Structure 1
Amino acid sequence: MKKQLLNALLFCIIPGLLPFSGEPHIVGKVQWILGGAVGMQPMDYFDTLLHGSPFIYLIIVLVKWGRTDFKLNA
């Protein structure tokens, strides 16, 4: 399970936070959506999903890790 967590973290750091100079792309997309998503095209939503998928994967791994750890300690 630790290997999956490490992979998820690397997956978030490397492709999830691109570009490294300036603001990460996913941050700009989320701000755009929270601001009302005025002018967003279907490609922009797909791009948000693409850049957000590493973080979704990290959440899934953390939930699985927490459930496994909880079952072992119960």
Structure 2
Amino acid sequence: MTLLDKIDWPTAIIVALLLGLAPFFPEPHLWEKLKMLFAGDLRRALDWFDLLMHGAPIALLVLKAMRALRLRQG
């Protein structure tokens, strides 16, 4: 059993939504950093750290879903 299996779905979803979308106003931080990344404006180390920290729970949720699908298939 891996770490991904130990995290239950409701917790993973809530953490991904809260950290991925925080702060909620004026726009989600992750969305702001992704726009900066695609515009080529992501230069400071703090911006990269913010992108990593706000994107990590969503990446964890995607990895958990991929593992669940793989286990279900075979």
Interval of TM-score (by shorter of Structure 1 and Structure 2): 0.7 to 0.9
Write the letter of the residue equivalent to 1:58: L
| Greater helix content | 2
2:40 corresponds in structure 1 to 36
State the structure with bigger RCO (CA 8 A, min sep 6), 1 or 2: 1
Deviation (angstroms), 1:16:
1.6
- Percent of aligned pairs with the same residue? 28
TM-score (norm. length: structure 1):
0.81
- Pairwise CA RMSD: 1.6
Distance 1:65 1:14 in 2: 22
Unaligned runs of 5+ in 1: none
TM-score (norm. length: structure 2):
0.81
Aligned residue among 59, 63, 67 for 2:62: 59
Unaligned runs of 5+ in 2: none
In the TM superposition, 1:1-74 aligns within 5 A as: 4-37=8-41, 40-71=43-74
Matched pairs, number: 69
Deviation (angstroms), 1:46:
0.8
Distance 2:38 2:69 in 1: 29
